[in-house]
């Protein structure tokens, strides 16, 4: 993409109403624009990152055998009356009435709808296990939408639903989700720690939230610092292997890590003092086994192979896709702007032409651009007639992890400069060496 033809409305001033750094940077980098409280338009740069995050979520869900589909944003109130949640959900639910006077709502989640689909088609244990998911906009009329996309009213969520014959099978689905989430967040350059969370009236300890540590996080968390040394890395997983998934769950949840709702001071104090941490965190996902809470009232039963019918065991598992943009920026920025991890960057690299209009640098940039595209990389070429300082500032603000600078002196020697946004270090090399380097970097990311 040539910047002169792109739509990147960066702001010079720091928006006064944005309280946290990710919100400020998303506004300044021209990624989002508020349409009304807690509701945003995704401008081209923000939309690109949103799609990348979504893509990683899709890939990791499907790697585990979970099946993508799409349910609507607007739902009929009838199903929610059946489950009993229409009245319980309260003011966070946006309710609307259609022209025929039918009660509708903008879905805050989809347990009812997916259970209705399930009961309409599946009636035998032979069709289990089954895990369906979608990535769809949700609406929750949050009393205090704030921090940009972090706590929106309209937000994008991945929600999966597993259907299993027994609790044991459903717990495997739970563990499997935990494994997919560990991999998903790491591919985005994030450390998200599974912490034991509150399962509310359902009880049990079959729910974990995934938290990214950040001072601006809304959750208070307590953990053993040893947990931050764990990493999922490049493991080969057989998602049908019950023992393997269980072992990974144990590895990542055996250390103390809890949100304030489940925090237990006595257990916490058993951790050696130097490893005891209390901090803030951003909830980027949650997994939940809830048994027959919806299958019973909605009559989602299957023949159990022994002449009886039993309600299926279910769980639901969410990832805050749009919130993740804010979380990644909170975890990865400096005073000049965003620093995108390679896995989610909107463009693979920037090209800065130090002397626009100079035949030599223009031609060198054009060649470099084609060479990158030929290798399947997507550069953002700043071809505007601007000072070098302004071009660098824009690149730093929007946070592309790599920049190639092309100037008249380098061109004479057949050299360009490759700069890392994260370290600020530059290296002079031939254009073809720069292309090769980037190809290597991004191949490693794709294989992750
Ligand atoms: P919170 O405690 O932050 O209000 P929640 O526990 O009610 O969230 P879930 O129902 O678990 O949310 O939804 C799954 C994921 O969706 C959350 O882990 C979070 O990442 C994301 N999410 C929830 N509410 C919002 C929101 N208002 N804006 C953006 N993302 C959200
Ligand atoms: Mg939650």
Hey, CA dihedral for 416, 421, 422, 423, is it positive or negative? positive
Q: Is the pLDDT reported for residue 285 higher than 70?
A: yes
Peptide bond into 129 cis (omega under 30): yes
- Give the pLDDT confidence score for residue 199 in this predicted structure: 82
How many CB atoms sit inside 10 A of residue 329's CB?
28
Dist. CA 19–CA 27, nearest whole Å? 12
- Give the pLDDT confidence score for residue 16 in this predicted structure: 85
Dist. CA 401–CA 420, nearest whole Å? 6
Tell me which ligand sits closest to the C-alpha of residue 260: 1
Q: Which atom of ligand 1 lies at the shortest distance from residue 108's CA?
A: 10
C-alpha count within 13 angstroms, C-beta hemisphere, residue 280: 8
Q: What is the mean pLDDT of residues 290-309?
A: 94
- For 44, 344, 410, 414, 433, the CA distances from 48, given in Å and listed in that order, are 6, 9, 32, 33, 27
Total count of residues recorded for the chain: 448
Q: Report the residue among 283, 316, 321, 324 best suited for mutation to probe ligand 1: largest number of ligand atoms under 8 A from its CB.
A: 283
Q: Is the pLDDT reported for residue 379 higher than 70?
A: yes
For the Cβ of 155 lying below 6 angstroms from any atom of ligand 1, the answer is yes
Q: 286 C-alpha vs ligand 1 centroid, how far in Å?
A: 8
Q: Is the pLDDT reported for residue 274 higher than 70?
A: yes
Q: What is the mean pLDDT of residues 348-366?
A: 97
Q: Among residues of the chain, what percentage have pLDDT more than 90?
A: 96
For the Cβ of 285 lying below 6 angstroms from any atom of ligand 1, the answer is yes
Q: Which atom of ligand 1 lies at the shortest distance from residue 150's CA?
A: 29
Q: Whose CA is nearest to atom 3 of ligand 1?
A: 283
Q: What is the pLDDT of residues 174-185, one digit of tens each?
A: 999 999 999 999
Q: Of 10-19, 58-67, 268-277, 419-428, give the lowest mean pLDDT range.
A: 10-19
Tell me which ligand sits closest to the C-alpha of residue 321: 1
Q: Whose CA is nearest to atom 13 of ligand 1?
A: 318
Nearest to 392 by CA among 353, 445, 340: 353
Q: What is the mean pLDDT of residues 303-328?
A: 96
For the Cβ of 151 lying below 6 angstroms from any atom of ligand 1, the answer is yes
Q: Is the pLDDT reported for residue 448 higher than 70?
A: no
Q: Whose CA is nearest to atom 11 of ligand 1?
A: 286
Q: 108 C-alpha vs ligand 1 centroid, how far in Å?
A: 10
Nearest to 176 by CA among 156, 188, 162: 162
Q: What is the pLDDT of residues 83-106, one digit of tens each?
A: 999 999 999 999 999 999 999 999
Q: Whose CA is nearest to atom 4 of ligand 1?
A: 151
Is residue 118 a contact partner of residue 91, using CB atoms and an 8 Å limit?
Answer: no
- Give the pLDDT confidence score for residue 223 in this predicted structure: 98
For the Cβ of 380 lying below 6 angstroms from any atom of ligand 1, the answer is no
- Give the pLDDT confidence score for residue 14 in this predicted structure: 86
Q: 202 C-alpha vs ligand 2 centroid, how far in Å?
A: 14
- Give the pLDDT confidence score for residue 202 in this predicted structure: 65
Q: 243 C-alpha vs ligand 1 centroid, how far in Å?
A: 30
Q: 149 C-alpha vs ligand 1 centroid, how far in Å?
A: 11
Split at pLDDT 50, 70, 90, the class of 17 is confident
Dist. CA 127–CA 129, nearest whole Å? 6
Q: What is the pLDDT of residues 49-63, one digit of tens each?
A: 999 999 999 999 999
Q: What is the pLDDT of residues 129-142, one digit of tens each?
A: 999 999 999 999 99
Residues 6 or more apart whose Cβ sits within 8 Å of residue 362 = 353, 356
Q: What is the pLDDT of residues 150-160, one digit of tens each?
A: 999 999 999 99
Q: 195 C-alpha vs ligand 1 centroid, how far in Å?
A: 15
Q: What is the pLDDT of residues 415-441, one digit of tens each?
A: 999 999 999 999 999 999 999 999 999
Q: What is the pLDDT of residues 102-128, one digit of tens each?
A: 999 999 999 999 999 999 999 999 999
For the Cβ of 417 lying below 6 angstroms from any atom of ligand 1, the answer is no
Q: 139 C-alpha vs ligand 1 centroid, how far in Å?
A: 11
- Give the pLDDT confidence score for residue 205 in this predicted structure: 67
- Give the pLDDT confidence score for residue 203 in this predicted structure: 63
Q: 320 C-alpha vs ligand 1 centroid, how far in Å?
A: 6
Q: Whose CA is nearest to atom 31 of ligand 1?
A: 320
Is residue 266 a contact partner of residue 196, using CB atoms and an 8 Å limit?
Answer: no
Q: Is the pLDDT reported for residue 447 higher than 80?
A: no
């Amino acid at each position: 993409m040539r910047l002169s033809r792109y739509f990147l409305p960066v702001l010079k001033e720091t928006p006064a109403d944005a309280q946290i750094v990710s919100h400020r940077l998303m506004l300044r980098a021209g990624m989002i624009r508020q349409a009304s409280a807690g509701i945003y338009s995704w401008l081209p740069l923000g939309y690109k990152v949103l799609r990348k995050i979504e893509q990683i979520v899709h890939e990791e869900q499907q790697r585990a055998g979970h099946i993508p589909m799409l349910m609507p944003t607007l739902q009929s109130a009838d199903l929610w009356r059946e489950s009993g949640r229409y009245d319980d959900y309260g003011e966070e639910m946006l309710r609307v009435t259609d022209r025929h006077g039918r009660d509708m709502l903008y879905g805050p989640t989809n347990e009812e709808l997916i259970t209705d689909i399930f009961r309409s088609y599946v009636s035998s244990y032979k069709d289990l296990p089954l895990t369906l998911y979608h990535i769809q906009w949700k609406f929750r009329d949050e009393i205090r939408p704030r921090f940009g996309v972090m706590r929106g009213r309209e937000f994008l969520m991945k929600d999966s639903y597993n259907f299993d014959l027994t609790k044991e099978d459903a717990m495997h689905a739970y563990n499997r989700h935990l494994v997919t989430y560990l991999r998903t967040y790491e591919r985005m350059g994030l450390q998200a720690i599974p912490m034991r969370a509150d399962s509310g009236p359902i009880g049990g300890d079959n729910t974990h939230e995934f938290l990214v540590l950040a001072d601006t996080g809304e959750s208070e968390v307590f953990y053993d610092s040893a947990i931050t040394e764990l990493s999922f890395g490049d493991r080969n997983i057989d998602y049908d292997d019950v023992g393997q998934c269980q072992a990974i769950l144990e590895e990542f949840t055996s250390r103390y890590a809890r949100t304030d709702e489940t925090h237990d001071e006595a257990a916490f104090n058993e951790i050696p003092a130097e490893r005891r941490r209390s901090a803030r965190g951003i909830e980027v996902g949650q997994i939940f086994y809830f048994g027959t809470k919806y299958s019973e009232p909605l009559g989602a039963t299957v023949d159990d192979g022994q002449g009886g019918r039993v309600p299926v065991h279910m769980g639901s598992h969410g990832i805050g896709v749009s919130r993740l943009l804010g979380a990644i920026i909170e975890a990865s920025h400096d005073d000049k702007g965003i620093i995108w991890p390679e896995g989610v960057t909107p463009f693979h690299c920037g090209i800065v032409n130090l002397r626009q209009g100079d035949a030599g640098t223009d031609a060198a940039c054009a060649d470099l651009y084609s060479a990158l595209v030929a290798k399947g990389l997507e550069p953002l070429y700043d071809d505007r007639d601007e000072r070098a300082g302004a071009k660098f500032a824009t690149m730093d603000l929007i946070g592309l992890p790599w920049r190639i600078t092309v100037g008249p002196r380098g061109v004479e020697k057949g050299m360009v400069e490759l700069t890392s946004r994260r370290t600020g270090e530059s290296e002079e090399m031939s254009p073809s060496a720069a292309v090769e380097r980037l190809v290597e970097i991004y191949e490693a990311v794709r294989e992750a």
